Amino acid sequence: MQKIDLHSHTLVSDGSLSPLQLLQRAQANAVDILAITDHDSIEAYQQLGNQALNGLRLIAGIELSTQWRGVGVHIVGLNIDLTSTSILSGVAQQEQARSERAQLIYQRLTKLGLAIDFERVKEIANQSNIGRPHFAQHLVEVGAVKNMATAFKKYLGDGKPGDVKQCWAELPQIVEWIVGAGGVAVLAHPLKYKLTRTKLSVLLDDFIAAGGSGMEVVSGQQNKDETNKLARLCNEKNLLASCGSDFHQPSQWSEIGTMAAFPSECEPVWAAW
């Protein structure tokens, strides 16, 4: 059986490995098909260039940030044309939005009396797109919180001062960029949004109306009951099913190519590739 991981991150966004290190780790873990889906960026593919794949199939991907009814959601674009005007213009707009968002987060945290060194945050982000995890890491560094989990719980998580959503492009625009680049738009990690089944169903309806055609039925080490529920919803909505580790860094809970079993009753997004 093939080992397929269609959701992973490098230090281009908020991962800890370089694109080459991630590729090598995937190869060492016997991954057959890999997508690097950095947040709002395709720079990882530019850095890799013509790097030897040694039998691994690399699918061009991206994870784009948006919001739906005040809830921050992520859309993964898979099998996109990295040279298309559609995705390039989308990335440029999202990068500008991410820059504006970072400034807003900085202002909000500073207003709370937290000693934030924005230049240090940029260093943590490898002078690339800044995200909330980079602020969280800085808060740990300066001793404002014990760990990153606490940083999100107190300052950066959903509904907290550092949770800024208004900068992102709207959901239909995000999907349009992906489809315009010849890709498949996939709703990422549906369970992370903590929506009721009814609200998740409505989100999927709006996503489908915008041109979305896939959803992750497996994200990391979820349990069998969670997978079964997502598989049923996926089939109910006639969507293609995707899977990914959502790998960011080597840890006990996240490893490239390692995730819950893919449900056989779903049509895989990679079937037509």
| Burial classification of residue 56, based on how many CB atoms lie within 10 Å of its CB (0-12 exposed, 13-18 middle, 19 or more buried) | middle
Residue 24 maps to a domain: yes
Mean pLDDT of the chain: 93
Q: Which two tokens stand for residue 240?
A: 């293609």
Q: What is the pLDDT of residue 157?
A: 87
**pLDDT digits 0-9 by tens, 189-198:** 999 999 999 9
**pLDDT digits 0-9 by tens, 91-128:** 999 989 888 889 999 999 999 999 899 999 988 887 77
Residue 211 maps to a domain: yes
For range 154-159, the mean pLDDT: 89
CATH number, domain containing residue 8: 3.20.20.140
> What single-letter amino acid sits at 242?
S
Segments forming the whole domain that contains residue 230: 4-87+184-272
Overall pTM surpassing 0.85 (yes/no): yes
pLDDT at 19 over 80: yes
Q: Diameter of the chain by CA atoms?
A: 53
Dist CA 40 CA 95 (whole Å) = 7
Residue 253 maps to a domain: yes
**pLDDT digits 0-9 by tens, 227-244:** 999 999 999 999 999 999
Dist CA 20 CA 42 (whole Å) = 14
Domain count, the chain: 1
How far from 32 is each of 20, 23, 40, 230, 253, CA to CA, in Å? 16, 11, 24, 24, 21
Residue 255 maps to a domain: yes
Residue 172 maps to a domain: no
Residue 221 maps to a domain: yes
DSSP 154: I
Residue 201 maps to a domain: yes
Residue 203 maps to a domain: yes
Q: Which of 30-34, 142-146, 157-161 has the lowest mean pLDDT?
A: 157-161
> What single-letter amino acid sits at 273?
W
The larger pLDDT score, comparing residue 129 to residue 175, is at 175
How far from 116 is each of 17, 109, 142, 159, 164, CA to CA, in Å? 25, 7, 8, 20, 17
pLDDT at 166 over 90: no
Q: H or E segment at 228?
A: helix 224-236
> pLDDT confidence of 252, banded at 50, 70, 90?
low
Q: 161: which residues sit within 8 A by CB, 6+ positions away? A: 108, 109, 111, 112, 155
Pairing of strands 57-68, 71-78: antiparallel
